[in-house]
Amino acid sequence: MRALTWHGTKDVRVETVPDPKIVNPRDAIIEVTSTAICGSDLHLFDGVIPGMEQGDILGHEFMGRVVEVGSGSSLKKGQRVVVPFTISCGGCFFCTSGLYSACDNSNPVEKQDASEAAFGHAMSGIFGYSHLTGGYSGGQAEYVRVPFSDVGPIVVPDDLPDDQVLFLSDILPTGWMAAENAGIAPGDTVAVWGCGPVGLFAVQSALLMGAGQVIAIDHHPRRLELAESLGAKVINYRESHVAEALLEMTGGIGPDAVIDAVGMESHGLAPDRLLDRAKQAVGIGVDGIHALRSAIHACRKGGRVSVPGVYGGFADSFPTGAVMQKGLTLRTGQTHVQRYMPSLLHRIAEGEIDTTFLISHRLPLEEAVQGYQSFRDDQNSWTKVVLKTPASGWIG
Amino acid sequence: MAGRNRAGWVILGGGVAALAVLAYVNAGRPRGKRDSAPGHAARRWRWGGYAVEAYTVTIARPRSELYAFWRRFQNLPQVMENVDTITEEGDTTRWTIRAPMGQTVEVATRIVTDRPDEVIAWSAVEGSQIDTSGKVMFADAPGGRGTQVTAIIAWDPPFGRLGQLVAKASARAPAMQARHELKRLKMLMETGEIATSARRPAE
């Protein structure tokens, strides 16, 4: 089969690799029709996530048809499914508590040692990501082996096209959980740092949850336009002072909840960001937390800080003082995708949520490398890239 | 000048007083009295002549099921990657275990304690290549979370501390083995399979 493989920093290739097969009883093999490039794939592309190996197949946002099932799978051949990026067994304490991304049993035993050393505990397996999360082959390929296929994939009706449901795999539930973690009460002001896909879906979700106003912060005009079209107010940090604007737009109180939808490769104009970046450049595992610092600083007293942005290392100058003195609540985590898929699919089917506004480019899988490059270098107009395989029947 | 001298005496006096307080506080603690941590979490690396390694895992299954699985020793190679074969002859169990640098080690053990659903303990018999003993304990986990399974292995590392370090470096150390094995046991019992990111079955 053809697949997008990782070979090093800024080196990904579309290659022919052996097809996957059923390994464990609960596996299924999915023939991929659509798969997206995620902002967190760019962290891999940029080489800032540890634990990658040459030849790893990337991609954790994908959907397709079931072509083969193991004896323990509940799926049937021919079913159309969206696959969550987190791999979860459904039976451990964490899965039964709804904390699917904390699954004890999906990250292979020998891969857990490094996470335990770095984080204290190992998290669930994730498709197409670091070997800290299992080193599972991902979905930017023609076929994928999907473990625990009786727990993860959700069957979608044939009348909903791929582009409407694909984002159930990651970014829509991630935006939704980010808003849920912000603990929004009716009338609240919610400020969202970053108008990438997760930030935009967090904007959409926060408004659905009853926020009085949502303020989105970015510097790409096209992305700010999208946020506005969803009903947000926007701040371009190249045009305005963010902290001052937020205070003025909230009557001097500050936002009730702040969402960092930026993560470890935070941009910005402040000196702290340059220091973080310099340390990243020499490879000492430092997370750039400029956006998070700025969000914590702006958040009102007793407010909530929600962090869907991806971090993987350590942070310098984390504002412990502001968190403690203002009594902030910090909530974060990899998304418990399985928890949100059914209700979000229902909202899509009912027409309450549309996700297709995000897609700026569709490319054949063969052109995935160009997709990575452009998504990274032209973030203003490349808001989301969906890759189509030959099996999708898509002809451009 | 006199002021500085007085300050010096005050500091010295303070130091002596602090030492006295420390000594008093320590005297209040009988030597060797342990905290609540399990013995195998101690900082020391040997107990008598033995290295002791242990690990606990919570498995969402009843005690009886886990005890029954473990008690049938032929089941264990499913979760013990370093165990090549297990054979039983009467009350003696023979284990062929992979060791560092491509070696194998033969260990013959005999059960010394066997309380159903609670504990199985074993000890190496005369003529084993490694002097080892161990036990696995099963206890109800709080909050209805299933069973806490603790494996404790005591062994006399060949070549002492050096042998222990070599074993550790090659992932053949009992501590790492025990951790991996108990996690595989948990996977098998909770999900019916052992997770792997292999794209295809081993050929």
* pLDDT tens readout for residues A345-368: 999 999 999 999 999 999 999 999
Distance, in angstroms, between B183 CA and closest chain A CA? 7
pLDDT digits (tens, 9 = 90+) for B74-84: 899 999 888 88
Q: Which of B180, B187, B198 sits opposite A105 (nearest CB)?
A: B187
Give the up-direction half-sphere exposure of residue A47: CA atoms within 13 A in the CB hemisphere.
12
Beta-strand relationship, A86-87 and B92-98:
unpaired
Is B60 close to A23, i.e. CB distance below 8 A?
no
Distance, in angstroms, between A24 CA and closest chain B CA? 7
Under 8 Å between Cβ of B156 and B53? no
Interface check A367 vs B, CB under 8 A: no
Is B195 close to A24, i.e. CB distance below 8 A?
yes
Residue B89 pLDDT > 60, yes or no? yes
Identify the three-state secondary structure at position B80. coil
pLDDT digits (tens, 9 = 90+) for B38-67: 777 777 656 666 778 889 999 999 999 999
Interface check B58 vs A, CB under 8 A: yes
CA–CA distance, A56 with A134 (Å, rounded to integer): 11
Residue of A15, A19, A23 to mutate, testing the B interface (most B Cβ within 10 Å of its Cβ): A23
Interface check A147 vs B, CB under 8 A: yes
Entry pTM: 0.88
- Which tokens sit at B161? 């501390």
Interface check A137 vs B, CB under 8 A: yes
Q: Strand runs (DSSP E) across A156-313, as ranges?
A: 189-193, 213-218, 233-236, 257-260, 304-307
Max Cα separation, chain A? 61
Residue B148 pLDDT > 80, yes or no? yes
CA–CA distance, A95 with A87 (Å, rounded to integer): 10
DSSP label at B64?
H
Identify the three-state secondary structure at position A66. strand
Q: Quick one: closest CA in B to A20, which residue?
A: B199
What is the enclosing helix (H) or strand (E) of A165?
helix A162-165
Please report the pLDDT score of residue A128 as a whole number: 97
Interface check B60 vs A, CB under 8 A: yes
DSSP label at B161?
H
How many Å separate Cα B26 from the centre of its chain?
30
CA–CA distance, A176 with A196 (Å, rounded to integer): 14
Under 8 Å between Cβ of A392 and A38? no
CA–CA distance, B101 with A184 (Å, rounded to integer): 58
Which residues in chain A have their CB less than 8 angstroms from residue B187's CB? 89, 105, 109
Distance, in angstroms, between A61 CA and closest chain B CA? 17
pLDDT tens, position by position, for chain A (396 residues)?
999 999 999 999 999 999 999 999 999 999 999 999 998 899 899 988 888 999 999 999 999 999 999 999 999 999 999 999 999 999 999 999 999 999 999 999 999 998 898 899 999 999 999 999 999 999 999 999 999 999 999 999 999 999 999 999 999 999 999 999 999 999 999 999 999 999 999 999 999 999 999 999 999 999 999 999 999 999 999 999 999 999 999 999 999 999 999 987 666 555 666 666 666 665 555 667 889 999 999 999 999 999 999 888 788 889 999 999 999 999 999 999 999 999 999 999 999 999 999 999 999 999 999 999 999 999 899 999 999 999 999 987
Q: Quick one: closest CA in B to A89, which residue?
A: B191
Residue B13 pLDDT > 80, yes or no? no
Is B193 close to A24, i.e. CB distance below 8 A?
yes
Interface check A321 vs B, CB under 8 A: no
Residue type, A307: V
Which residues in chain B have their CB less than 8 angstroms from residue A108's CB? 195-197
CA–CA distance, A110 with B50 (Å, rounded to integer): 26
- Go through the domains of chain A in sequence order and give each one's CATH number: 2-170+335-392 (3.90.180.10), 175-332 (3.40.50.720)
pLDDT level of residue B28 (50, 70, 90 thresholds): very low
Residue type, A110: E
Under 8 Å between Cβ of A221 and A236? yes
Under 8 Å between Cβ of A192 and A217? yes
Interface check B108 vs A, CB under 8 A: no
Please report the pLDDT score of residue B40 as a whole number: 73
Is A24 close to B184, i.e. CB distance below 8 A?
no
Residue B22 pLDDT > 60, yes or no? no
> Which 33-72 residues of chain A touch chain B by CB within 8 A?
72
Interface check B145 vs A, CB under 8 A: yes
Is A107 close to B195, i.e. CB distance below 8 A?
yes
Interface check B5 vs A, CB under 8 A: no
Which residues in chain B have their CB less than 8 angstroms from residue A90's CB? 191
Residue type, A227: A
Please report the pLDDT score of residue A396 as a whole number: 78
Under 8 Å between Cβ of A152 and A29? no
CA–CA distance, B116 with B93 (Å, rounded to integer): 18
Interface check A121 vs B, CB under 8 A: no
Is A105 close to B145, i.e. CB distance below 8 A?
no
Please report the pLDDT score of residue B1 as a whole number: 45
Q: Quick one: closest CA in A to B197, which residue?
A: A136
Under 8 Å between Cβ of A106 and A87? yes
Distance, in angstroms, between A34 CA and closest chain B CA? 20
Distance, in angstroms, between B130 CA and closest chain A CA? 25
Domain B40-191, what fold? Answer: Alpha-D-Glucose-1,6-Bisphosphate; Chain A, domain 4 (3.30.530)
CA–CA distance, B30 with A216 (Å, rounded to integer): 62
Please report the pLDDT score of residue A204 as a whole number: 98
Distances (CA, A) of B136 to A207, A287, B117: 54, 42, 10
Residue A262 has φ and ψ, to the nearest 5°, of -110, -60
Range list of H helices, A6-57: 39-45
Please report the pLDDT score of residue A6 as a whole number: 97
Q: Quick one: closest CA in A to B187, which residue?
A: A105
To 10 degrees, the CA torsion angle through A45, A46, A49, A55? 30
Please report the pLDDT score of residue B52 as a whole number: 80
Distance, in angstroms, between A138 CA and closest chain B CA? 10
What percentage of chain A exceeds 70 in pLDDT? Answer: 94
Which residues in chain A have their CB less than 8 angstroms from residue B191's CB? 26, 89-92, 105, 148
The ipTM value here is 0.91
Residue type, A350: E
Is B184 close to A109, i.e. CB distance below 8 A?
yes
Q: Quick one: closest CA in A to B141, which residue?
A: A93
- Which tokens sit at A13? 């290739």
Residue B26 pLDDT > 60, yes or no? no
CA–CA distance, A278 with A288 (Å, rounded to integer): 10
